[in-house]
Amino acid sequence: MKNRTLCFLYAQLALAAFSYSGATQAQSAHLEGTTLVLPVVTAADKTFRLEFSLDTNTSPLQISLISAVELSNPDSIDTNNANSFIGTTLSIPDISVDGASFRADFTLLSENPIIFLLADAAENGIQAPENTPNACSRPAPDLSHGPNNAAVVSGFSVDPSKIQDGGPAPDGIPPLTNPQFTQNLELTGIFPDSLVVGVKVGDDIRAYPHQILDWHEVVNDTFTVDGQQQQMTLSYCPLTGSAMMWKGFAQSANKTFGTSGLLLNSNLVMYDRETNSLWSQMLEQSIRGSAVLDIPDKVQVVETTWETWQAMYPETILMTEDTGFSRPYGTYPYGSFRTDQSLIFNVDNMNDLRLHRKARVLGINVGDSSKVYPVADFGDSISLIHDQVGGMDVVAAGSATQNFAVLFNRQLEDCTTLDFTPVQDQLPVVMTDNEGTQWDVFGNGISGPRAGTKLEKTNSYIAYWFAWTAFFPGTEIN
C-alpha cells in the first residue's frame, strides 16, 4: 500500500509527453515516440531486448509487449544496473528522456497478451533545493487500501477462493439510482440516534440513513460540481459497517455500480455497469475484470447520528424511503449481528479479538502501517489524537457521545505541521490550530489565517473491527 500518487502523475506525464533523442548506454531504456525500448532485460538466466507500446489513455499507465528478442553472447553485455524481470515485477532503473533519468516499476497485469501496469516511478537524483518552503518529507495518503504491486492471476488481484456467494443474485439487493431527498423531516420517520452517512460536495449537503442503506447498499447519485453534473456512488456494507463514496470514471459512458451478490471477507463486492468488473469496497479498487487494479477517486463522508449531522448542517437534505421498493426500513436485515460477536461468513484473521468484533473503528493505512481508533474511545465531548502513522503526521477528531470520528494529515503543503485543540459546541467546527485557524469536520479552514485552506484527506474510514483486521492483519490499536 505504498503511496504512489505523485509517482503515477509524474511518470505518466513524463513518459507520455517526451520523445527520446540522443544515445543511451547499452542497458538504458529510452522512448522512441510511444514505444518504450529496453535494450537489455535480465530474466532468470537469459537476457532480452524488449519493446513495449505505451497506452497513454490508461491510468495507471499500461504498456504492452510488441517485440522480444533473446540476446546472443550475454556474457559480453554489461548487466550491472540493468532492467530486470523478477516474479511479476519489471524494474527499469534508468529511462533516459532528453538528458533526464527516470526509474519505474511495472507489475504484470496480463500474460496473454503481455501487459504491464505502472506501479511506481520517479525521477532519479532529484534533490529539493535548499532553503525552499517545500523541502520536506510529506507522506501522502495511499491511493487505495489494496495490496501493493498485486499480481493478477487468472484475472483476479485477490485469491478467488476467498470470494463468497452472499446469497442474492446480481442486483438482488437493489441499488438506488437518483434517490429522493427532502427537508420535510416529519415524513421521514428517522430518529435522533439513527446513523446516517453525511456528504458535503460543494453546496450539496446530503444525509443517507443506514436504515435505507441496510436494504440497498449502493446509491448512484448525481452532484453539481463547478456547475457540472457529476455521477457519484455511495456504498454502505451492513455486514462490515463501512461506508464510502466514489466518483464516477470520466471515461465511462455508464458510471453506475450495482451489487454483485458476492462478498470478500464478508464485505460488499460491487460491479460497474460499464465493464462488469468486480470491485472490493474496503480495498477500494477493482479485483477482477478489464478494470482490475483500477482505483476510483473518493469523496470524504462523515458517518454519525442524525442528531449530530443536523447540528452540523441544519440545511441538509435527507434521503427518503420513497425508493420504489417495498422494504421494512428501520428493521435491520441481519438480526442481532451488528451488536453480538457472531459472524455469518468466514473471514481472514477471524480470531483477532483484541476488540469486540463489532466495535466501530476509524482505520487508516499509510504504506505498510495500519492503525485504528475505536470510536467509543473518544471522549464524551470532542477530543483529538495527534499521532504518526507510516511517517504521516495525523490528527483524529471525534466524540463517542456524538458518534463520529474523522482523520486528517496535519502537515500542510507548505510543510507546516499544525497542532490542534478541540472546539466544543460549535459544530461543524471541531478544532482550532496553534495559528488561530478553525477547522470543520471535513478539514476545511473556516476562519483565521488559513481560512479557505483544506487539510489533506487521508485514506481512512469507519468499519467493524473484525472486518478491518480481516483485510489488514497486524493493525495497531490506538
- Read off the amino acid at residue 194: S
Alpha helices in 262-420 (DSSP H): 306-312
* Residue 107 confidence (pLDDT): 83
Of 11-20, 98-107, 417-426, 458-467, which gets the smallest average pLDDT?
11-20
Question: Cell triple for residue 132?
Answer: 525552499
8 A C-beta contact, residue 147 and residue 34: no
Q: How far apart are CA 262 and CA 296, in angstroms?
A: 20
Nearest to 90 by CA among 31, 142, 149, 145: 149
Give residue 38's pLDDT band: very low, low, confident or very high (50, 70, 90).
Answer: confident
Query: What is the three-class DSSP state of 153?
Result: strand
- How many CB atoms are located within 10 Å of the residue 250 CB? 10
Q: Which residue has the higher pLDDT, 73 or 113?
A: 113
Residue range 253-273: average pLDDT? Answer: 97
Q: Over 50: is that where the pLDDT of 1 sits?
A: no
* Residue 106 confidence (pLDDT): 87
Residues in the chain: 478
Question: Cell triple for residue 71?
Answer: 540476446
Q: Which residue has the higher pLDDT, 79 or 224?
A: 224
Tens digits of per-residue pLDDT, 130-155? 444 445 667 767 777 776 667 788 88
Nearest to 274 by CA among 255, 289, 259: 255
* Residue 128 confidence (pLDDT): 42
Q: How far apart are CA 95 and CA 41, in angstroms?
A: 13
Q: Over 60: is that where the pLDDT of 8 sits?
A: no
Tens digits of per-residue pLDDT, 455-474? 998 989 999 999 999 999 99
State the residue for C-alpha cell 468488473: 277
Domain boundaries, the chain: 5-123, 160-319, 360-477
Of 111-115, 220-224, 255-259, which gets the smallest average pLDDT?
111-115
Q: Over 70: is that where the pLDDT of 17 sits?
A: no
Tens digits of per-residue pLDDT, 228-238? 889 999 999 99
Q: Over 50: is that where the pLDDT of 66 sits?
A: yes
Give residue 3's pLDDT band: very low, low, confident or very high (50, 70, 90).
Answer: very low
* Residue 148 confidence (pLDDT): 61
The CATH code of domain 360-477 reads 2.102.10
Q: Over 70: is that where the pLDDT of 119 sits?
A: yes
Strands 392-399 and 404-409: antiparallel
* Residue 274 confidence (pLDDT): 94
* Residue 154 confidence (pLDDT): 84
Q: Which residue has the higher pLDDT, 101 or 173?
A: 173
What percentage of the chain reaches a pLDDT higher than 90? 61
> Torsions phi, psi of 360, nearest 5?
-85, 120
> Torsions phi, psi of 393, nearest 5?
-80, 120
Q: How far apart are CA 215 and CA 330, in angstroms?
A: 10
Q: How far apart are CA 279 and CA 292, in angstroms?
A: 8
Task: For residue 74, give the DSSP letter.
Answer: G
Of 3-17, 268-282, 358-372, which gets the smallest average pLDDT?
3-17
Question: Cell triple for residue 27?
Answer: 542497458
Question: Cell triple for residue 390?
Answer: 507510516
Residue range 329-356: average pLDDT? Answer: 96
Backbone torsion region of residue 149, taken as left when φ is above 0, otherwise alpha when ψ lies between -120 and 50, otherwise beta: left
Q: How far apart are CA 191 and CA 205, in angstroms?
A: 19
* Residue 374 confidence (pLDDT): 98
Q: Which residue has the higher pLDDT, 99 or 461?
A: 461
Q: Over 50: is that where the pLDDT of 51 sits?
A: yes
Tens digits of per-residue pLDDT, 197-213? 999 998 899 999 999 99
* Residue 147 confidence (pLDDT): 66
Give residue 81's pLDDT band: very low, low, confident or very high (50, 70, 90).
Answer: low
Residue range 397-423: average pLDDT? Answer: 95
Q: Average pLDDT over the chain, rounded to whole?
A: 87
Q: Which residue has the higher pLDDT, 238 or 94?
A: 238
Q: Over 80: is that where the pLDDT of 323 sits?
A: yes
Q: How far apart are CA 199 and CA 243, in angstroms?
A: 11
* Residue 230 confidence (pLDDT): 92
